[in-house]
Structure formats: C-alpha cells, structure tokens
Structure 1
C-alpha cells in the first residue's frame, strides 16, 4: 500500500512566485492580502497591510484572533468549494480562496481589511470573537476610522479573481509535484540499472573465477567419496566425517551459482564447513548454531551464508591467539527471517565498517572482504530480494563482528 505524502505550500510553489502574485493582486484591487498555510500562518510578507491590522497583530490576543480567523475562513472556503466572504474577529470584511493540491488543503489566499455598506455587512458571518476590545485602546479606534470602505460588488469581483489565482497556484503545484516525482523515479531507475549492471558483472566475474578454479571437480568429488569410504573401512571415523563434509561442500559448489536453495540446505553446508574447521583448530574455535526450525524452508541464493562464516573464522578468530567463539543464529521476526553471524574475534576499525557498508573496500588483510566477499554476498541478496532485504554490520576493534541479514520469509521453490 502506497504511503500518501503530505506537502507544505512552500514545497510545491516557490515562495518568491507567491509573493509576486500576491503583490500584483493587491496593487490591482486595493485590498490587503496575504497567503497563509493550512494553519492560518503567513507564508509570505503582507501586501498593502492596513495600519489598524498591523497594530492589532502586535497584541498577543490580536495576533491569535487574526490567525484563527484566517484558518477558519480557509477551511470554510474549502467546505463551500468557492471564495468565502466574511467578517474577521475585529469586524473587518475579509475574503478567502482555498489552495487545494491533489485533494490536500495547503492554505488560502486571504484578502480584504476593508469595510462595505452596512446593509451588506449585516449579511456576512463574523467568524470569531473579537480578540481585543477597541474601546479599551484609543489608538486602535483612531486607526479603525482610517479603514477604507469599498462597494460590495468590487469585493465579490476581487473574490472571484482570488479564486482564479488560487486555482493557478494549485495547478502549478500539481505540475511541480509531478515533476518532482518523475525526477525521483528517474533517479531510482538509474540507480537500479547501475546496481543491476554491477551485480551482473560481479556474478560473471565470480562464475569465471569459479570456472578457472575448477580442475576436474567431478573427479575430485568422486575421489573424496572413495577416500571417505576407505577411511570408514580402515576404522578412522573422524577422518571419514571430515572427508564426507568436504565432499558435500564440493557438491554444493558444483551447482549453478544463482540457483535458489533453502535455509535448511545452507545450514547443512555451514555444519559441514564448521566440522572441518573445528577439526582443524580443535578447541581454539567453538561454534554455536541457534536455528529456528520454522525458517528452514525459506529461500535464499545458494552458498550465501558460508562466505560470512568463513570470513568470521579466517579474519576474526584464526589470527586471535586464544581463538574464540562463533554464533550463527536464525530466527523468525514477523514476516522476516533474521540471520546473524557473530564472532568475538579481532573486529574491524570503524573506517573499515564504513567501507563495508558503502561496498567500496580497497583494503586487504583483516577486512572481512575475501572469497566471494561481503560485497558480492550483499549484492546477490539485494538482486534476489530487492527492497525486501536489508542488512546491518556492527564491529569494534578487539571485540568482534556481527553481521545481520533481514530477508523476507518465502517458502523456496528449489530448482525454479
């Protein structure tokens, strides 16, 4: 479901354009005018403002009453769908025309600050209670006497002109919004095309490297199976287990690189890999797998997790004299599968973490970016799941590294 975006009047029409429109309107009609937002607050400077109104707004109660009048009048104009002529809280004749963009009320053009014939005045709504008592302020009474009187038919003509201007502003706002949206879509499209091209190149490079490194892999696979059976016959079960685990990893590497697997398959490959490493390092490396069984049928690109585990051991734990602890955790969080690979090894400096997140690492050594590399793992997941996938990388030098992948839960259609 798309999230509706709410705009401010300044977002859709340039303020300098609004100011020029308002100034020209005031010059043509002799009315004071101001463009306000949906709360009744001015967006631009006042045009042809009356001294009486300017003085009223210098009093806290007066300013509040003016803004309330403008806000209520704007909403009333929206409700009626046409210009609204009324009396403000101080009794002057004002008019408002709504500015509506994409069904959203953004503000109004407010004008007036005049008096009209008494018989016409009596037929207008007084929109709010007076914010000030003129009788208690002689200066206001004197300024009130200087307010011009205008024929009511001219006020109505000015209101229609205001409505035309408001519609122009709204149309310009719609055009600006459409242009902004098109620009944003074009930028996103170009970024997606670039990312896809980079990913396809990375996948082709990975496939090429895999082909270059394959020295008759079927022969190696069959040989390992033979050695495994021989070790079992000779009474060397641990050797048999290690050789079998290596054969299973080789079997996985023979599958097509972009093929979809289940998390169950990926966890099995990790178990085989860890068996080999734990045999190699004995007590220096301890691994723990905490797996939520409800996640195991979810899909994932083949051999995505093993490179992360390998990086954690090779670059985090192996160089550490006393070794360390590795945790692989898979759990269901709502509609997402959360996969965490964490070690308490050497960790990475902050600048290396930033390079990982930007996928721009140029370092070697303890960068956690060897083999297929974190960059390729991230890009493969991004290519497969799109915006439904995201990741986090946390690391502190001397304390360890935690990489967390968030994938959508999707039952795998293996082989599709």
Structure 2
C-alpha cells in the first residue's frame, strides 16, 4: 500500500537528484533532500563553504538535521513551502513531500542571507558561537554566503513546490499501476472495488498527462531565465521572474480542470512576452480573438502547449525568427482556434511520428501527443488538434472546441 512506502520507494531519487542539481546550477542556491527525520537522503548540491564546515562535525551535523526535521514538519503542517532561518541565521526553505496525507520528507534550498528582518531562527543553538571562537575564518565564510532578495526566494519556492508536486503525482501513478497490474486485481473479489480502482487510475492518468505538458513547459522557461541571467543583472530578469510567477500561479491553480478562455489566453500572452524579451525582434505575435469566445471553457495549458511548440521548434531554429498568429472564431456549434507560424515547418514523415504514441519520446512530440490525449479525454477523438505543416513555409494548428460541453 502507498501509505506504507518510504520516500525512496515513492520517488525516483536519481531523477530528483538531477532536477536538484539543475535547479542549483540555475538559481545559484544550495539544495538537498531529507527524510521526515531531517536526515539527508541524497547528495548535496551547491552547498556553501560555511555550511559544509558546519556539517563536518558530529555536533554541527546533528544541529542542522534537527533544524531540518523541525522545519520539514512545519512545512507539512502548513502543506506549503516554509521559509525560515536556520540556527546559524541563514535563510532556508522547506518544501514538504506529502503522499496520501503522509509526510515523508522535504526538499530544502537556500543557505542565503536576505532582507527580511522578520524571520527568526527556527531553533536556538549555542554551537555556532562556540565554533566561531575556535575558527575565526567561519565568520568570513558566513559573510561570503549568497545574498538574495526575499521576493526572489518566494518566487523560487513556488517553482520548487510545482516540481515536487508533479513528481509525486507521477510517482504515485506508477505505483498504483504496478499495484493494479501485479497485486490488486488478483485480490479483488467484488466488481465494485475493481471499478473504483480503475476509475481512480483514469483520473491519475489524466492528471499525469497534464503534468507532463506543464513539466516540459517549466524547464523551457528555466532555460530562458538562465540565459538572461548570464547576459544582464537585474531589470529584465526581474520582469521575467514576475511573469513566470504569474504563469505558475495560473498553472498550479487550474491543473487538471477547464478554465475560461480569457484566462488561458492571458497566460499565453505572458509566455509570449517572456519569449519576446528573450529573443527580441526575432519573435512577433498577433492575436485576433472574437470577444464572445472569452467566456467558453477549455482544458488548462492546451493553448500554451501548441504556442510553445511553434516558438521552440518552429521559430527558434530560423535565424531571422518569425511571427505567430493566434485566431479564434465561431463555426456552427464549435469554436475554432488556429495557431499559425511561419517557422521552419515539419516534414510529413516527422509529423506522423510525432503524433504516433510509439515514437513520441524519440521525436520530442510528448507535448503535442499529450495535449491531444487531453482533448480526446474531454471531448472525444474527433476534437484532437489538426496540424498542417510545410517545410520552410510554416505550421498551422487547428483546435476545435464544442460550444456545448
């Protein structure tokens, strides 16, 4: 049963380690994962010189682990990231890992100084003052820790929360499928129990499909932030982070449900603005939507998926860039949405493979394939996206949404 599993049983620790290392590289902060007792279960990423020295002694390690256990439990009680100061006075963030209401551990990041004077150490400890006297160099190491504005810490905590939640959803689905295939079906004696589990699996499968679309989207945006951070230090990066936080807020709030078209379009516009900052005049867009369409509902992140595909695979490889045109109109009992770009296009053979389940990972078609799966789940197979493309001319995606849902 899922409730009896440990953190290492539930989540792919190697995958989480890779994500942790990448986040540490992009944000410049320290990351590690602990169990519910506060003990590390994987390798540290980007730990500060000060914290490495603190954890090099038995007493220092125990002090840090006790603080992590306390902070992780606090985050679990709140069921959201908990920002706190460690006993040494550095700011950390604990993001809880909760499965079926069971707290299994937490992802920690931070080891920074910030401008929020209201934060107080989660636990008092005389160990640090004692060790300072023995090693005066530690005070210098402490002052050399990274300084990060508090609003950036909050923005990063939202991102980490989304990633952790999506990994949990994927891991739970994998375990449920394993139990269904190898254990549960054999022991089910009543049809009612079997139907209930199968319906639950179907719900998780739909949730996973949407999570994969969002997961793919998150890391493309992370690349954007990383590249901007390399070439400038401030205004544009701040603007991108703000827009990104709005995107995440929309995504997290509306995952696995339908939203009004106006909200979804606003989210797409935020994404286009971020890419316009990244690519400058190489990326242009036009939007022509009948205002009456704004009130209809569509699955969250579907429009975003195809717009992102146009930019990443259509316009980015084209030296001079290009334009995306998004148009929406009524046709009989349906709403028609078209996303048209003048990018490099897709060959007929490759398009077939992208849309084919068997080859979706090989040809980076996971976003398009899963978006079609979501559309089919809501409306039926006749409402999947129609894609026409011509090499060196461009690609047109046509979405059809029924008025009566």
Q: Smaller-chain TM-score range?
A: 0.3 to 0.5
Higher Rg: 1
- Larger helix share, 1 or 2: 2
Q: TM-score, normalised by structure 2?
A: 0.43
